[in-house]
Amino acid sequence: MVKGLRFNWGRSLFYLLLTAFGLLMLAPLVYMASTAFKPTAELFLFPPRFFFINPTWNNFYQLLLVTGSSFVPFTRYIFNSLIVTLGVVGGGIIVSALAAYPLAKHNMPFRSAIFNLIVFSLMFSPMVLQIPQYLVISNVGLMNTYIAQIIPYLASPVGMFLMVQFAKQIPEPLLEAARIDGAGEWKIFLSIVIPMLKPAIATFALFSFIQAWNDPYPAMVYATQEDMKSLPIAIQTISGGAGVVARVGTFAAASFLMIIPTILVFVITQRMVLQTMAHSGLKE
């Protein structure tokens, strides 16, 4: 053995425990993916098998048949969810970033009071706003539109708070140098502030995407027409309709399709999310 090198048993044991816990948390996802490809004969085996033996695409085919029995195809639900989710995520990022820059870097009137109100709003459940939001959207005639499912979620206190805290870390001399060079506020915002906010934007985008993609409430309340419903509503229909036992594989296939975008968004944003966690303990 090379002199000076020691095998760290404590660190190795720690990594083994983390790996075991990671695999344990991954097990439900792997089981759901395996169930989505199991034929009917393997779905009801006892004792149940974790992995499939003879994979099949029949569950996905049955999914199209179940949703195709109505006048709305399954792809319509996916399209509606994509439109609403992208609108909520994109609009929320724009609103939060535009609010964070003046609150963090401008001596605007009542800046502290406005920021305290944003923090104070984190204490309340979103459920307290559901009735007022429904009355407003209904009275202005926005029912059965994508806008009705997007607007209530654009002003996110979590996104504003996160981006304000990141914007406060931007050095003032950097902004002053840009102003001396003749850059306007919009130029500073787009060229300096937005790139510095990328980790916070990625973190907020991940959390916002997960919430919007999996939330059946907007389509359930603001959409009365079937062609405006979202993917979570379709999955609830599959899991709660007639022949529930026979639809176990179909339900697993629908759940698997629903979770794929969430995994992709996490893989894309994980590096910047980790940067946010690393900077969360920094002081101004």
User: Does any domain span residue 28?
Assistant: no
The span from the CA of 48 to the CA of 244, in Å, is 18
Residue range 250-276, pLDDT digits in tens: 778 888 888 888 888 888 887 777 766
pLDDT above 70 coverage of the chain, percent: 88
Range of the domain at 172: 58-279
Q: Compute the average pLDDT of residues 79-97.
A: 93
The answer to whether 220 and 108 are in contact (CB under 8 A) is no
Can you give the pLDDT at residue 93? 94
pLDDT at 58 over 60: yes
b (16+ CB within 10 A) / e for 240-275: eeeeeeebbbbbbbbbbbbeebeeebeeebeebbeb
In a domain, 217, yes or no: yes
Asked if the structure places residue 46 within a domain, the reply is no
Question: What's the CATH number where 222 sits?
Answer: 1.10.3720.10
The structure tokens listed for 150 are 């997007």
184 part of a folded domain: yes
Count of structural domains, the chain: 1
Check: CB of residue 216 under 8 Å from CB of residue 80: no
Assess whether pLDDT exceeds 70 at residue 68. no
Residue 137 inside a domain? The answer is yes
Domain assignment present for residue 112? The answer is yes
The answer as to whether 259 is a domain residue is yes
Overall average pLDDT of the 220-224 stretch: 88
Question: Is it the case that residue 121 has pLDDT exceeding 90?
Answer: no
CA–CA distance, 57 with 38 (Å, rounded to integer): 8
For residue 124, what is the DSSP state?
A: S
Residue 1 lies in a domain: no
At 9-45, the pLDDT tens digits run 778 888 889 888 888 888 888 888 888 888 877 777 7
pLDDT tens-digit map of 97-111: 999 999 988 888 888
